[in-house]
């Protein structure tokens, strides 16, 4: 099928894009087009106007003390390859590299992935696990939305029609940080069936003092699993007993399809194992 007819405007700055969105109820932002264009081709989306934000200057990466600010139009490929992201947000780097295949990652953007809000997408899961935020702007001003308040259901967010995501904010990883994104897909490059994003922070004695975790593929939004993984807090290593306990707890306590809960339990145990190993490597490199 071909898309329904639409108009197109390529904006030079954010106010211009907001004005274009506000002036047409059927208007939609287009960034990488990797999710919106397929929906349009299937006529599941019929925007009357596409507001192109690729030239509005939203593709920077800056570290501000303990927060990393990523422009909404930053491509997945850059997240995958940028050395600053690798150092301060390794969970995001790993997750970006798991999205589709290189052609998709070269066009797709972090803002587009978050607003598209696919329940099996990697980046919304990372945002929830890391306790991140998005900064959105409209004619009424700017507001900051926490990850847990952004996703409301299948392909749905709390964003208003005339709001544009400008930036994504994530905490900067500490020197004893460890993280892992573990997922399972039927074929390489396919969307995952389910996945787990995990980030841990450890103290100088190697004890896990903080963790954030989220799972995709179980519900219509990424599920915050931090409480289910509380057994990891205080641990100095990923012992076999701990990993078995995690798989068991996840399997028992996650609602929905039991096979998927089983899968997520195994992925969570694997994520804990890798996060400790990576934290050890990071500490050794920093010493
Ligand atoms: C074959 C294929 C495989 C894929 N595999 C995966 C995968 O494994 N994992 C995965 O997560 N994704 C996958 N994707 C989707 C891909 O990651 C998209 O790039 C991403 O979901 C959307 O980013 P985009 O920049 O292309 O957004 P677009 O398609 O341009 O837009 C998506 C939505 O976001 C809105 N939007 C975009 N930017 C903004 C903004 N700054 N402010 C407000 N609204 C905005 C648009 O209006 C639209 O509603 C795949 C896509 C394809 C075609």
Cα distance between residue 202 and residue 276, in whole Å: 9
Residue 173 has what pLDDT?
Answer: 97
Q: In angstroms, what is the C-alpha Rg of the chain?
A: 19
**CATH code of the region 178-286:** 3.30.390.50
**How confident is the model over 108-123, as a mean pLDDT?**
98
Q: 177 pLDDT exceeds 80?
A: yes
Considering only CA atoms, which residue is closest to atom 21 of ligand 1? 113
CB atoms within 10 A of CB 87: 15
Choice from 22, 41, 113, 118 to test ligand 1 binding pocket (greatest atom count within 8 A of CB) = 113
Q: How far is the CA of 176 from the centre of ligand 1 (A)?
A: 32
pLDDT of residue 257: 81
Q: Which CATH number fits domain 61-171: 3.30.465.10, 3.40.50.300, 3.30.420.10, 1.10.4010.10?
A: 3.30.465.10
Domains 7-52 and 61-171 are alike in CATH topology? no
CB 215, CB 222: distance < 8 Å: yes
Query: What's the confidence (pLDDT) of residue 287?
Result: 81
Rounded mean pLDDT of 255-283? 93
pLDDT value at residue 255: 72
- Report the topology of domain 7-52: 3.30.43
CB distance 185 to 192 below 8 Å: yes
Q: Ligand 1, closest atom to CA 115? A: 34
Any ligand 1 atom below 6 A from CB of 157: no
pLDDT digits (tens, 9 = 90+) for 40-65: 999 999 999 999 999 999 999 999 99
Give the pLDDT of residue 61: 98
Q: So where are the chain's domains?
A: 7-52, 61-171, 178-286
Residue from 208, 264, 213, 261 nearest 233 by CA = 208
Closest ligand 1 atom to residue 36 Cα is 29
Number of H helices, E strands in the chain: 11, 14
For 207-227, what is each residue's pLDDT tens digit?
A: 999 999 999 999 999 999 999
What is the structure's pLDDT at 258? 85
Distance, in Å, from the CA atom of 156 to the CA atom of 183, rounded to the nearest integer, reads 22
Residue nearest to atom 41 of ligand 1 (CA): 165
Quick: pLDDT tens for 230-259.
Answer: 999 999 999 999 999 999 998 888 877 888
What is the pTM assigned to this prediction? 0.97
């Amino acid at each position: 099928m071909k898309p329904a007819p639409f108009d197109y405007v390529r904006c030079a700055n954010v106010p211009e894009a907001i004005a274009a969105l506000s002036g047409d109820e059927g208007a939609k932002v287009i960034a990488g087009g990797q999710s919106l264009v397929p929906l349009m081709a299937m006529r599941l989306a019929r925007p009357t106007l596409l507001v192109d934000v690729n030239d509005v200057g939203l593709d920077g990466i800056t570290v501000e003390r303990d927060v990393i600010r990523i422009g909404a139009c930053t491509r997945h490929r850059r997240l995958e390859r940028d050395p600053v992201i690798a150092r301060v947000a390794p969970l995001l780097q790993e997750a970006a590299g798991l999205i589709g295949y290189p052609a998709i990652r070269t066009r797709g953007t972090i803002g587009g992935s978050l607003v598209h809000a696919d329940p099996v997408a990697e980046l919304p899961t990372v945002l929830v696990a890391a306790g991140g935020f998005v900064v959105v702007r409209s004619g009424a001003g700017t507001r900051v939305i926490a990850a847990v308040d952004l996703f409301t259901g299948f392909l749905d967010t709390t964003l208003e029609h005339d709001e544009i995501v400008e930036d994504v904010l994530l905490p900067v990883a500490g020197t004893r940080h460890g993280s892992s994104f573990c997922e399972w897909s039927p074929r390489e490059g396919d969307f995952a069936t389910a996945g787990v994003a995990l980030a841990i922070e450890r103290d100088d004695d190697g004890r896990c003092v903080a963790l954030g975790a989220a799972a995709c593929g179980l519900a219509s939004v990424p599920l915050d699993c931090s409480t289910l993984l509380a057994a990891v807090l205080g641990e100095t290593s990923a012992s076999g007993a701990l990993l078995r306990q995690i798989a068991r707890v996840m399997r028992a306590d996650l609602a929905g399809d039991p096979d998927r809960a089983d899968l997520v339990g195994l992925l969570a145990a694997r994520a804990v194992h890798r996060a400790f190993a990576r934290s050890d490597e990071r500490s050794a490199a920093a010493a």
